[in-house]
Structure 1
Amino acid sequence: MPLTVEPWTLREPTLDVDDLPRTAALLTVANGHLGVRGVLEEQRPEVPAGTLLAPVYEKFPHDYPERAYGYPDHDEQLVPVVDACGVDLEVDGKPFDVRTGTLEHHERRLDLRTGVLEREAVWTSPAGTTVEVRSRRWVSLVRRELVVAVYEVRAPHGARVRVRPVPGCPGPASADGPGLVTEACGHDEGRTWVAQRTVVAGVGAVLATEHDVSGPDGGTHRWVQAAHGWAVEADLPADGRLRLGTRGAYACGRRPVESLLADARTVLADAAAAGEDALEAEHRAFLDEVWDRADVVVEGDDELQQAVRLAVLHTVQASACVEGTGLRAKGLTGLGYHGHTFWDAEGFVLPVLDHVLPSAAAAHLRWRHATLPRAVERARTLGLPGAAFPWRTISGAECSGYWPASTAAVHVTADITDALVRHVATTGDDALEREIGVDLLVHTARFWMGRGHRTDDGAFHVHGVTGPDEYTAVVDDNTYTNLLVARSLEAAADVARRWPHEARRLGVDDDERVAWTSAAAAVVVPYADDLGVTEQSAGFTRNPVWDFSRPRDGWTPFEDRVHYTELYRHQLVKQADLVLALMVAGDRFTPEQKRRDFAYYEPLTVRDSSLSASVQAVVAAELGHLTLAHAYARECAFIDLHDLRRETQEGVHVASMAGAWDALVRGFGGLRVERGDVRLAPRLPPHLSRLRFRVQVDGSRLEVDARRDGVTYRLLSGERVVLRHAGEDGDEELVLTAAEPAQERALQPVAEPTPPQQPPGREPRV
């Protein structure tokens, strides 16, 4: 179903019941701890997984046809919990169901400024009674356990209505196998609670709710007992209204029901004391501050303007309250990827959060540090020192059953430390570096020294790995991996010098630091001299190139129709890999080398991963392919809004959402932050007339406002910022101070070169 294009609203103007699984993801309200998907309150028709809690997961045994040493025993999967916003409505004895009677009007709106989902419906029952239903809901970005909802029924000509809040106690589930079971529940007039627990993982979840009811003028309403709870009945006169306000609080953990229930009731008591207006005001104030930091103004492309704001909202909703759980690839918008955390978080989302919501980036890094004991245990299982972080996880344990694309993808460990170093450089958070950074960098440096090896010529190699491109698995010396290994080793040596007390506590001495620095300098970057291009991995350019004249089925991923043994032996790139290295470790490549490398890999990259388009957008923009970069920016921004991959029903792609911001800011804004050096190279593609954004620079905030006639740099907070502006005559150092906060410069002129071609049928999807 098409959604309207508006700068600050995602509007669904009519209802398509077949589209409900997709819109349930897009219209989610969440905070990273609690997610309420955009399902209809009545759940008719039912859309699974209405409410998700980040800590509530279950362990399911892996069933391997052939088991081998080191394979994880269990998968971890997020499981949906009971909904606080559920409502059962009857009108003159007939259940409210959008599929029956006549649905005369239906509209839902997600306000991107406030994170509030509103709904309006006009329905005439099969018996001829007409009612208007209005609802609104939001998940607090301040009180992570709290969801607030309002459900209102109006009868233009009068009606008897019956509203039962919360679906009561769910039917009992079998405790014979993994799953979520209901342990206990209790109901009173206007209050209810339900306790659930996962059988194997043992994670408990308690929902407690309070309901405020206001009845019609000239009518009556009363609480009556109903199956598994209480309901409100009202005789509505003409134009009479019944309003049900709900506050729901979730508590979860491995504690007894009584303890969890007490916590949930404390949240409710605090919320009631604050009052509904104050609750929404503090929630709105949080988002106001986010938008003050995060909003990107795009002039000349209205669709992209809406999409990037939706992307920012979903990125914030996936991360605002992640303390103790970490960022999930789908946020809490669906059960795709079983609710796991991947390297997407560090590689794609945290670079954006460093500017948009630094506290969330820090919270995710603290969660990674809290899982360090499991990473150490995994390294021991692999026979290695240090710490090996999992490819996919909820608890911190590795739960991927396919090792060539998981355990072999060791770059995830380097992605984590790279995210840490980048966060400290961007925010100036030296305390975080001292508290958790030394630990993470030392343990991972020891892992790399065990995982890599020196050859007789002194070169440092990392063999038997899978890089970001999952169509080229278990190779030697993946360039992206090796460059991040080098950065990780350099950073470990640096923090050991910066924080000697913490380093000594971990047993680091001068000899170990020297060994790290020496290995970093000797890391191999494979190169094809005959072609003049950097190799994605050793020998990659000697593999046969995929025959694109073979019959193809539109955008069906290759992995769905080609065996991996064929994929692995060809030059066929699932997602940007070497090009990602050009973006992340750009200082290691000359501009001419970047041009040759991008031209070589672009025709090989089929983008069967949502992680590709934003990377290609950034590098294309840097190389002057501005029209191509614009197309890639639109693709990553529209991946869920337009459901380009026909999988949004499983949840939005949070990394691609964050990538939309990155494509604009790092791509067209030219932002680069390397070791405290801040460089900006704004440039606009033909169809954009303005780009304005704000970024963090070592704890200060800077605004960049690029227009056709020039760019203005403005210091918004902080005492002083030093940056480099890329101008026509080369880089120029600018100093912004509180006394002189703004400077203007001309944009560097760009003559677009002829862009490289994409694989047949794999052009950007805009």
Structure 2
Amino acid sequence: MNSLISKDSKWVLTEKGTDPETIRQNETLFALSNGHFGTRGSLEEAERTREYSHSEATLVNAYYDSELIEYGEWAYGYAEKHQTVIPVPNGKKLAIKLDNDLFDLETGKTTVHKRQLDLKKGLLTRSFTWENSQGHKLDISIERFVSYDYPELLAQKVWITPHDDGCDLRIVATLDDLKEMGSISEEESNDPRIKAQKERRFKSERLEDFENQLLHIETNSTGLHMIVGEKNELSDSSVQSCFENGSESWEIDTVKGETITLERTVGYSNIFKGASMKEEKAQKLSTVMNEASAIGFEGLKEKHVDHMEEFWESSDIEIEGDDELQVGLRFNLFHLYQAAGRDGKRNMSAKGLTGEGYEGHYFWDTEMYMLPFFLYTQPKIAKHLLNYRYTILHEARNRAREMAVDKGALFAWRTINGKEASPYYPAGTAQIHINGDIAHAVHSYVKVTGDRRFGMHEGLEILVETARFYAGWGHFDEKRNGAFVLNDVTGPDEYTAIVNNNYYTNLMAKHNFKYAAEMVEAVLEAGDEDGLGVLERIGFDKTELENWKRAADRMFLPYDEEQELTMQDDSFFHKEVWDIENTPKDKFPLLLNYHPLTIYRYQVNKQADTVLAQFLFSDEFSQEQKARDYEYYESVTTHDSSLSRSVFGMMASDLGEMDKAYSYFMDTALMDITDMQSNTKDGVHAANMGGTWMSMVYGFGGMRLLNDTLQFRPRLPKDWTRVTFKVQFRHRLIKVAIGKEDTEYTLLKGEPLVIRHFDEEKHLD
């Protein structure tokens, strides 16, 4: 059992002791966020003891700075600028002095040091006893959470209980504006997934004439503004505070056994453009902080715990028979919920808000791996995530023009503001399957929620523009009997780049054409005014509809008749197979140890590609075909990507290989807790976390939406006795309880519904 997981609780991760490496590693795991901002689980005094901290960063979703990408050789259409989410002022910092000895884990003697992340309540707690050089002791407890009810707020409370009378106790609370570089990760790395930040990327000024301490910050290049504020309240109101250099401090004479508490509220405003708005935004944040102060820490915590209870009520998955995986699963669901943007203008980065890996960029990860969780448990959040794609549609259109496609839109491979930020186009822009991924997510959202209003407006425009791009990128190849082909693309597998007719990409494009045609025809048939207005505004011509249908019908999907295998692309089977078994372990991941052209010459996969296509459209393939392809592609896959194992696990469930499905799921569920990819320090693997939910519901639950009907083909691993989860479907809430012998389906809310259990219809009332 992992050292963080206790046998005593299925909800709590517990860290004991003061080992520096353990505490550094858990900075990511103990991060707290709410979709607006997040703060890593670093110690309050981490800056003074750097070996205990990898990065203390507090990150605000989409608060980024930019700089030109430097190329040795430039070519037309290359991405122009980096987009990098930057650390903002750190509101966790606290200093405690006793008789002029400054507390940290290297000074004096610290005992019974314990930190706990309570997943059920969304609380991070810390407790310890500290003895200074003169033998005087303090018992200290600290609690923190990031509020959902007040998305701007980080709330902290500190309890300090002296063991002795008459000592000089000094408490200092600091709103750090990062003028010192000690709180930003400075580690050098050649890893393309990391961009080290070595300098402060914003300007700051302290605002006067406000009741609370407020700081106005502005990025160096992108002109993004924010207000950061702090409000502190000491339990002993007779002790006057002192303000100096951005810090507030208190001097106290200790009384043995008399606990002193400090309540801290730190606020991070919404992002805005234009310094002229700073007074207005400052006043608004100050008002929110005052309201929170009036409620008090305990009142805020009660509201927060209630919110978390509501989340778990609809989103929890219970496993009977494996406590370690139960905690790992809940840990993943907890971080998924924390990561999602909730305003329709921001998305979910690959690391959530837990670290600086991937620069805070949004990828296809959201639509294909993370959105299903929200779609079936938190559909309002799912809609917000798709709305973000709609807000950047104009940039996607511009990108399509840059790629010499006259109509349609190509969404950026990695981005924050909608512009392409990937400097390596073979594994970036060439992955045009991102259009089909987003279209698939839009189609799924409309089918699952029944939200025709979104489908016939925002969804319609996205579907039309993505289909237009594929129509412009591909062509009908007369040498292949008029089949529609898509050349020079990269599929999900980034170890195979710039190929013709990647199976996954072609299949996604085929369905993109179908989705667009289906929605356009629904608008025309219904005479929907909003939808007709959209089609008129974007210059839709009915000849496009026929062209999409023709392209979908004639889509080229490569297949090797002799081997009876689905071909990943036109050239894959013509390459030599990479000897994975005899490759030294220290040479993985391959992308850090071999030139891309070396990797591209071989049959070797970084992650699921063709297998992912067959998982998504399982009903279009026979079980025999899926089994043959699964065996073949598993043998050439390294799983160097965290996106891979969950897909292979779900397909193993589909094929009835339950031991293999369980093994993949265990890796998926515990990936960050065990640091399987050796880079958890840079942030959690949010897509893999989405994969854990999918593995449970799609994999072991066997859930699919076919012909507008929810279908289940449940199978349990041999050591589990029961799995229970809930899904929302068209304003209904359904509870699914899978046992060894039978499965119970209960309609908890909504109108009666017909589902399918294997081949049997079940009527839920």
CA distance, structure 2, for counterparts of residue 491 and residue 362 of structure 1: 18
Q: Residue type of the partner of 2:762?
A: L
The question of 1:566 aligning with 2:570 is answered no
Contact conserved, 1:622 with 1:667, CA < 8 A, in 2? Answer: yes
Match runs of 1:423-572 below 5 Å: 423-456=445-478, 457-500=481-524, 501=532, 502-548=534-580, 550-554=582-586, 556-572=588-604
1:212-241 CA distance string (max 9 Å, x none): 11029xxx6331233333211211110122
Whether 1:164 and 2:172 are equivalent positions in the alignment is: yes
Residue identity opposite 1:163 in structure 2? I
Tell me the distance in 2 between the aligned counterparts of 1:98 and 1:465: 52
For 2:511 and 2:556, how far apart are their aligned partners in 1?
A: 13
Q: Deviations 1:573-619 (Å, cap 9, x if unpaired)?
A: 11011110111121221111111111111111110000001101100
State the match for 1:749 in structure 2.
none
Deviation per CA, 1:524-573, whole angstroms, max 9, x where unpaired? 11001111010111131221111235441257211222221121121101
* Residues 90, 177 of structure 2: 8 Å contact kept: no
Distance 1:140 1:29 in 2: 9
Equivalent AA in structure 2 for residue 45 of structure 1: T
Are the counterparts in 2 of residues 155 and 241 from structure 1 also a CA contact under 8 Å? yes
Partner of 2:722: 690
Distance change >3 Å, CA 412–CA 189, structure 1 → 2: closer
Matched AA of 2:274 = R
Residue 761 of structure 1: aligned partner: none
Q: Report the equivalent of 1:214.
A: 235
| Secondary structure at 1:80 match in 2 | strand
Structure 2: how far apart are the matches of 1:588 and 1:166? 59
Shift of 1:187: 7.4
Q: Which amino acid aligns with 2:471?
A: M
Deviates more, 1:256-265 or 1:70-79: 256-265
Q: Deviations over 1:71-103 (max 9, x none)?
A: 112111111011222212212111110122111
Distance 2:514 2:551 in 1: 9
In 2, Cα distance between equivalents of 1:360 and 1:382: 32
Question: Does residue 1:34 correspond to 2:34, yes or no?
Answer: no
Tell me the equivalent position of 1:342.
363
1:493 is displaced (CA, Å) by 0.7
The answer as to whether partners of 1:460 and 1:524 remain within 8 angstroms in 2 is yes
Partners of 1:521 and 1:474 lie apart in 2 by 24
On the 8 A contact 1:81/1:205 being kept in 2, the answer is no
Q: Would you say 1:254 and 2:286 are equivalent positions? A: no
For the 8 Å contact 1:179–1:198, the answer to whether it is kept is: no
Identity of aligned residues (%): 34
Structure 2: which 5+ residue stretches go unaligned? Answer: 182-197, 525-531
TM-score, with length taken from structure 1 = 0.92
**Corresponding residue of 1:612:** 644
**Amino acid corresponding to residue 522 of structure 2 in structure 1:** R
In 1, are the aligned partners of 2:41 and 2:56 still within 8 Å (CA)? no
Matched, 1:420 2:423: no
Equivalent position of 1:732 in the other structure: 760
- Cα deviation per residue 1:309-352 (whole Å; 9 max; x = unaligned)? 01000000001635421111100000001111111111100011
Partner of 1:18: 21
Deviations 1:157-195 (A, max 9, x none): 23321111124554289xxx9852332115799831222
Partners of 1:55 and 1:553 in 2: CA distance: 37
Distance 1:168 1:462, change over 3 A: closer
Question: Cα 1:437–1:212, aligned 2, differ >3 Å: closer, same or farther?
Answer: same
1:400 pairs, out of 405, 419, 422, with 422
Tell me if structure 2 keeps the 8 A contact 1:534–1:597. yes
Deviations 1:50-87 (A, max 9, x none): 31101311102211111111111211111101122221
CA distance in 2, matches of 1:733, 1:54: 44
Amino acid aligned to 1:294: S
Q: Which residue of 1 aligns with 2:81?
A: 74
Contact 1:613–1:633, Cα closer than 8 Å, also in 2: yes
Offset, 1:275: 4.3
Q: Following the alignment from structure 1 to structure 2, what is the Cα–Cα distance between the partners of residues 182 and 103?
A: 37
Deviates more, 1:16-25 or 1:31-40: 16-25
Q: Which amino acid aligns with 1:503?
A: L
Task: Give the residue type in structure 2 aligned to 1:34.
Answer: F
Q: Is the 8 A contact 1:131 1:153 kept in 2?
A: yes
Matched residue SS, 1:631: helix
Q: Partner letter of residue 536 of structure 1? A: Q
Q: Are the counterparts in 2 of residues 34 and 145 from structure 1 also a CA contact under 8 Å?
A: yes
SS at 1:369 equivalent: helix
Once structures 1 and 2 are overlaid, which stretch shifts more, 237-246 or 186-195? 186-195
RMSD (Å), alpha carbons: 1.9
* Correspondence for 1:138: 145
Matched residues in 1 for 2:665 and 2:15: separation? 24
Greater Cα offset, 321-330 or 187-196 = 187-196
Written as runs of structure 1 = structure 2, the 5 A alignment for 1:623-642 is: 623-642=655-674
Q: Which residue of 2 aligns with 1:112?
A: 119
Q: Secondary structure at the match of 2:288?
A: helix
Give 1:245's aligned residue.
263
Cα distance in 2 between the residues matched to 1:242 and 1:190? 23
2-side partners of 1:315 and 1:709: how far apart? Answer: 32
Q: Given the alignment, which residue of 301, 313, 332 partners 1:311?
A: 332
Asked if structure 2 preserves the Cα contact closer than 8 Å seen for 1:617 and 1:629, the reply is: yes
Q: Which amino acid aligns with 1:101?
A: G
Partner of 2:378: 357
Query: Closer, same or farther in 2 for the Cα pair 1:612/1:387, shift >3 Å?
Result: same
Letter in structure 2 aligned against 1:623: L
The answer on whether the counterparts of 1:38 and 1:50 sit within 8 Å (CA) in structure 2 is no
- Aligned pairs, number: 727
Q: Letter of the aligned partner of 2:624 in structure 1? A: E
Hey, what does 1:760 align to over in structure 2?
Answer: none
Question: Is 1:2 aligned to 2:9, yes or no?
Answer: no
- 2:685 is aligned with 1:666: no
CA contact (8 A) 2:5 2:324 kept: no
Change (3 A) 1:286 1:434: farther
Contact 2:62 2:360 in 1 (8 A): no
- CA shift at 1:210, angstroms? 1.3
**Amino acid paired to 1:138:** F
State the alpha-carbon separation in 2 of the partners of residues 709 and 342 from structure 1: 40
Task: Measure how far apart 1:690 and its partner are.
Answer: 0.9
Amino acid at match of 1:59: S
* Residue 274 (structure 1) shift: 4.3
For the residues of structure 1 that align with 2:146 and 2:707, how far apart are their CA atoms? Answer: 37
Residue 528 of structure 2 corresponds to none
1:45 corresponds to which residue?
A: 49
| 1:234 corresponds to 2:269 | no
Q: Is the 8 A contact 1:78 1:338 kept in 2?
A: yes
| Greater CA drift, 555-564 or 631-640 | 555-564
Q: Distance in 2 between matches of 1:225 and 1:270?
A: 23
Q: Answer yes or no: is 1:390 the counterpart of 2:394.
A: no
Q: Distance in 2 between matches of 1:323 and 1:497?
A: 27
The verdict on how the C-alpha distance between 1:349 and 1:580 changes in structure 2, with shifts beyond 3 A counting, is same
Paired residue type of 2:450: G
Matches of 2:602 and 2:180, distance apart in 1 = 51
What letter is aligned with 1:656?
Answer: N
Secondary structure in structure 2 of the residue aligned to 1:304: helix
Report the 3-state secondary structure (helix = DSSP H, G, I; strand = E; otherwise coil) of the residue aligned with 1:247.
strand
1:50–1:89: structure 2 CA closer, same or farther, 3 Å change rule? farther
- Cα 1:169–1:590 change in 2 (3 A) is closer
| Cα distance in structure 2, aligned partners of 1:556 and 1:240 | 55
**Residues of 1 paired with 2:717 and 2:581: CA distance?**
32
For the residues of structure 1 that align with 2:179 and 2:699, how far apart are their CA atoms? 51
Task: Give the match's secondary structure for 2:49.
Answer: coil
Q: CA–CA distance in 1 between the matches of 2:368 and 2:305?
A: 29
Query: 1:203 is matched with which residue: 224, 229, 240?
Result: 224
SS at match of 2:308: helix
